[in-house]
Every structure is written in C-alpha cells, then in structure tokens.
Amino acid sequence: MKKLIDCTKILRSKNAGPLFITFDLIFDTNEEMRYVYKNLKKEDVAKAYDVSAEKIEIIAYDIVNSIKITFPRKNISGSIYDNDIYGCQQHMPLAMIEV
C-alpha cells in the first residue's frame, strides 16, 4: 500500500464556496488515477476528516487524470470558528491515507 501523497503529482485543498472544501488529486498517468479511484474509500476520507461518508463526493476526471473530493466544511469559511479561511491547508490528512 502507498500513501496518497506518494501516488499524486499534485494534491491540494481549497474552498468550494464558503460551505464546502474540495481536494484535487492530479496524477501523471491515467493508470495511477484509476488505481487510486478504485481503492480510495469514502470511509477512509470520512475518518480522516470526521465527516459522514454519505456527505463525501469522489469524482474521477479521466481526461485530465484527476480526482476531485468534496464535502461540507465543519465551519463556514470566515466564521469565528474557522481556522483556514481559504481551505488551502487541509490536505495533509488526505495525503496520509493509504490506498
């Protein structure tokens, strides 16, 4: 098994509006992307971010060898409880997931 950070060319997080966080996983090859898409489980992402697996969307984009993962933020972007207004520092728990 390999960690996601070792499989991807780019792994980043960002806001998808004020209510959602999204992750981009970009791969060198379609084979690598397909392998991760097949083996990445919503339950693992849910555990890493303490969110319900039912709220997680994982979408593959074959034409650009990428995967997008989106789910609701725990705190609205910019709220008093938010610790990352742009959502750009949220990728490391995902990066450590093994596939």
- 40-89 pLDDT, tens digit each: 999 999 999 999 999 999 999 999 999 999 999 999 999 999 999 999 99
Short-list 97, 94, 80, CA closest to 11: 94
**pLDDT on residue 54:** 98
All structural domains of the chain, each given as residue ranges with its CATH number in brackets, are: 4-95 (3.30.980)
Let me know the angle formed at the C-alpha of 56 by 51 and 59, rounded to the nearest 5 degrees.
155
User: Which pTM was predicted?
Assistant: 0.94
**pLDDT on residue 17:** 94
**pLDDT on residue 6:** 95
Neighbours of 93 (CB within 10 A): 15
> By the 8 A CB rule, do 37 and 58 touch?
yes
Which tokens hold the place of 82?
Answer: 């938010």
